[in-house]
Amino acid sequence: MWFNHNPAKRWQPVQTRGAAHPVNQTCLENGLTVLHQYLPFTPVVTVDIWVNAGVTREPEAVPGLAHVLEHMIFKGTETVSPQEFDRLLECQGGIVNAATGYDYAHFYMVTLADQLEPCFAQLAELLIHAAVPEAEFKQEQEIIRTEIDQAYDNPDWVVYQSVRQLVFPNHPYGRPVLGLAELPPFLSAAHVRDFHHQLYQPENMTIVLVGDLTHEQAIDLVHRHCDWPHTPASRDLLSSPSPLNPVDQRRYHAMETPGIDQARLTIAWLGPGVTEKEQGYGFDLLSVILTGGRTSRLVSDLLEQRGWIYDVHSEFFLQREGGCFTISVWLDPKYLEVVETVIREHMYQLGEIPIPEVELHRCQQLVVNDFIFGTEMVNQLAGLYGYYSILGELEQAFTYPRLIQAIDPKTLQTLAQKYLSPSHYAITTLQPCSY
């Protein structure tokens, strides 16, 4: 055999780019966390600012507020006019973007190292002193409306939101990040300012800087450009959201829509939260066992052998309080029922029969290499550090490959039994119809 398969040699930890220089974690007096990593072999710096201000922090009556604020951050402050930052950053080729999630919002930019300082100064100013001007607020609501329209035109998005609602009823995790089909009509700029004032505070944020700048430069930048107003914000105590419960039956939602050709089916379960981190890593492995590549169980069975489906994808979304494990299938409508049955059989097997070592090794290798491949660029590293800093502990960003490689068949079997019931799950289907 010209190819020598020897899984044992893979157990050596693999050198990743991030290992050359350590990540420095500094907590400033005001509570702000600063993460920095010096990577000199690149002319680039990424700044990624994470805020513990996602959907879960929204007042229940104002769904979509966290996302509206993400838009409004870029609308300027008393000293930075709207678009001024975009022009400054982009005229050097820099890139800026932002995203809102259930547990966080984050804002990042990538810039040439020698252009960093003025861009950083403005990004920090926008985040700390967002003014949310009335006129800009009205204009932006129109834009968010088209963003919501666009989402509802996407059948995959619609199915995913529906199944989340079944897994997380009466919890912010169950509604779209964008809010509902329309923004609340009473939503005002004052709501947005309050939300900003309460949550965009130093103890609630992490600033990550990765790339060609030294630790001293990083800390100095933060000291000189991040000044919160001295008047302390009046901060409401967090109301803790209602606890999450596993799906205790088959919860089914069927939808039909014109204008599509293939059906969708998404099955979902409640998974572990971020504090049960090793279990969460087990779920990354389970999703690869099921749909990671052509040798995976569902791809090889349903797509390659039976030919019943067009595609299948499985994913585990780690969340603070409880993650969401999904299996999504694109298929001919006539196979909807039988495909659901086959998936249930596979879930049953996961709980009954330990995963063979060879299969487990292959999946571990895929997950670990995916991690290595996905942490090659400074913006990927910065995102990783920020994510874990806000959701759990920074350490998780480094122990991930080792913990993945330490998982054994028994652990996975126990996880499947505990979380992935073959009879209790949420399922949404979307079928074409002709009206």
Partner 1 sequence: MLPLPSPITSVPVTSGLLCQKFALANGLVVLITENPIADIVSARIFVGAGNTREPLGQAGVAYLMAATLTKGTHRLSSAEIAEQVESVGASLGVERAPDYFLLSLKTVSEDFLDILSLAAELLQYPSFPASEVELEKKLALQSIRAQQEQPFTLALKGLRHSLFPPGHPYIQTGPGDPDQIAQLQPADLHQYHQTYFRPDNMVISLSGNLKAFEAVQYCQQVFGDWPVPEQPLLPPDGLQPVEAMAASMGSSSNISITTQPSQQSIVMLGHLAPSVQEPDYAALKLLYTYLCSGLSSRLFVELREKQGLAYEVSGFYPTRLGPSHFVVYLGTAADNTAIALAKLQAEIDRLSQQPLATEELETAKSKLLGQYVLGKQSNAQLAHLMGWYEALGLGIHYDQNFPKQIASLDVEAVYQAACQHLQQSHISLVGSDTAVQPWLAPS
Residues of span 156-215 touching partner 1 by CB under 8 A: none
Pick one of 43, 59, 229, 356: the residue that binds partner 1 (CB under 8 A): 43
Of the residues 51, 361, 388, 421, which one makes contact with partner 1 according to CB under 8 A: 361
Interface residue with partner 1, options 134, 149, 216, 345 (CB under 8 A): 149
Report the residue from 24, 42, 198, 411 that binds partner 1 according to the rule CB under 8 A.
Answer: 42
Taking the C-alpha atoms of residue 214 and residue 229, their distance in angstroms, rounded to an integer, is 28
Quick one: tokens of 338?
């039988």
Reported in sequence order, the residue ranges of 101-217 that DSSP labels E, i.e. its strands, are 105-112, 205-211
Distance CA 336, CA 340 (A): 6
Q: Of the candidates 30, 79, 81, 150, which one interacts with partner 1 according to CB under 8 A?
A: 150
DSSP line for 360-394: HHHHHHHHHHHHHHTTSSHHHHHHHHHHHHHHS-T
Among 28, 112, 219, 403, binds partner 1 (CB under 8 A): 112
Position among 8, 15, 230, 341 found at the interface with partner 1 (CB under 8 A)? 15
Question: How many beta carbons lie within 10 A of that of residue 188, not counting itself?
Answer: 13
Minimum CB distance to partner 1, residue 106 (Å): 16
Residues 228-267 that bind partner 1 (CB under 8 A): 258-262
Distance separating alpha carbons of residues 288 and 313, to the nearest angstrom: 9
One residue of 8, 41, 234, 341 binding partner 1 per CB under 8 A: 41
**CB of 315 or CB of 359, closer to partner 1:** 359
The correct pick among 286, 290, 366, 382 for binding partner 1 (CB under 8 A) is 366
Query: φ, ψ for residue 281 (rounded to 5)?
Result: -65, -35
Query: CB 272 → partner 1: shortest distance, Å?
Result: 24
User: For the range 128-131, what are the long-range contacts, defined as Cβ-Cβ under 8 Å and sequence gap of 24 or more?
Assistant: 128/200, 128/226, 128/227, 128/228, 129/77, 129/78, 129/79, 129/229, 130/69, 130/72, 130/73, 130/75, 130/76, 130/77, 130/193, 130/196, 130/200, 131/75, 131/76, 131/77, 131/78
H/E stretch holding 312 reads: strand 309-317
21 binds partner 1 (CB under 8 A): no
Give the C-alpha separation, 215 to 23, whole Å: 9
Map the footprint of partner 1 across residues 71-110, applying CB under 8 A: 74, 82-83, 86-87, 89-96, 110
Residue selected from 199, 244, 362, 415 as contacting partner 1 according to rule CB under 8 A: 362
Q: Which residues contact 294 (CB under 8 A, 6 or more apart)?
A: 300, 304
Scanning the structure block, which residue is given the tokens 């990004």? Answer: 123
Smallest separation (angstroms) from partner 1 to the CB of 148: 8
CB of 210 to partner 1, least distance (A): 12
Output 78 or 261, the one with its CB closest to partner 1.
261
Query: Nearest approach, Cβ of 422 to partner 1 (angstroms)?
Result: 26
Least distance (Å) from partner 1 to the CB of residue 68? 13
Tally Cβ neighbours within 10 Å of residue 375.
19
- The 3-state DSSP composition of the chain as helix, strand, coil percent (nearest 5) reads 45, 20, 35
Among 69, 368, 412, 426, binds partner 1 (CB under 8 A): 368
Nearer to partner 1, 14 or 238 (CB): 14
145 binds partner 1 (CB under 8 A): yes
- 353 contributes a contact to partner 1 by CB under 8 A: no
Q: Which of residues 289-328 bind partner 1 (CB under 8 A)?
A: 292-295, 300, 304, 307, 310
